[in-house]
Amino acid sequence: MVSNNKFSPSVANEIARTAMYICSNPDCLRLTGFETNEGRPRAIAEAAHISSASISGPPRVGVVNLPGTKTPVDLGSSANGVWLCRNCHKLIDADVTEYPSPLLEDWKKSHTARLRSLVGKDLEASLLILSQDRMYHREAHELLVELQDRRALFNDMAIEFPSEVQESVFVLRDKIRSLKGRVSFESESTLARTLDALAVAIRQFLR
């Protein structure tokens, strides 16, 4: 969210460490921390506010309510921060409607869970998992767009032409097959289970 209030250096560092210096946007997951030749830590990322007390005007301090909770937190606390690369930070600041507070809170929670799943794994396995998670998120978005474009799935069948419904189902079936070919089912991801369930439902519908 847009905010004129910056986090203190110590809070920003806490947010960065919690995110393991990885951008929390599931479509990005860019590694952001590095060390200069002089041995100084640097990052190509920033701590962004999840909820903002002020979208415009002079800086002010205060408290905000995080999405899904009535417990107020300090505007500049780590609880109200999510770690994002600079590109993603600019992206959410430019369109607060497309990137509302609940979405940013979900990014942070999902990112925390993602990092916990990497504990104890070697670098190669961790990078592979991060890459798969980013791909799965994009594939899931692609699937949602495809489902939204199929009005026959949501409208009353009485107002639809049977031939057009069948064509829609065939197109959706082909799309699901294509997505399943790009998703590893060994991971038992939510996307993999969803694709499998949709494939079963389509087979039953076409019988």
CA 91, 97, 103, 108 torsion: positive or negative?
Answer: positive
Contacts of 46 (CB under 8 A, 6+ apart): 12, 83, 84, 85, 86, 89
- For residue 8, give both structure tokens: 């203190």
pLDDT digits (tens, 9 = 90+) for 11-57: 999 999 999 999 999 989 999 988 788 878 788 999 999 987 544 43
Residue type, 21: Y
Listing DSSP states for the chain in one string gives ---SPPPPHHHHHHHHHHTTTB---TTT--B-EEE-TTS-EEESEEEEESS-S-SSSS----EEEPTT---EEETTSGGGEEEEEHHHHHHHHH-TTTS-HHHHHHHHHHHHHHHHTTTT--HHHHHHHHHHHHHHHHHHHHHHHHHHT-GGGTS-GGGS-HHHHHHHHHHHHHHHHHHHTTS-GGG--HHHHHHHHHHHHHHHHH-
Confidence of residue 192 (pLDDT cuts 50, 70, 90): confident
Q: Residue ranges of the domains in the chain?
A: 9-116, 123-206
> Is the model's pLDDT at 5 over the cut of 70?
no
Which has more pLDDT, 70 or 169?
Answer: 169
- For residue 181, give both structure tokens: 């070919």
Say what the pLDDT of residue 57 is. Answer: 39
pLDDT digits (tens, 9 = 90+) for 112-145: 988 998 888 888 888 877 877 777 777 777 777 7
pLDDT digits (tens, 9 = 90+) for 70-120: 677 888 899 999 999 999 999 999 998 899 999 999 999 999 988 998 888
Rama region for 162: left / alpha / beta (φ>0; ψ in -120 to 50; rest)? alpha
pTM comes to 0.65
Q: Of 157-161, 180-184, 186-190, which range is least confident?
A: 186-190
Say what the pLDDT of residue 59 is. Answer: 40
Say what the pLDDT of residue 55 is. Answer: 44
Residue type, 40: R
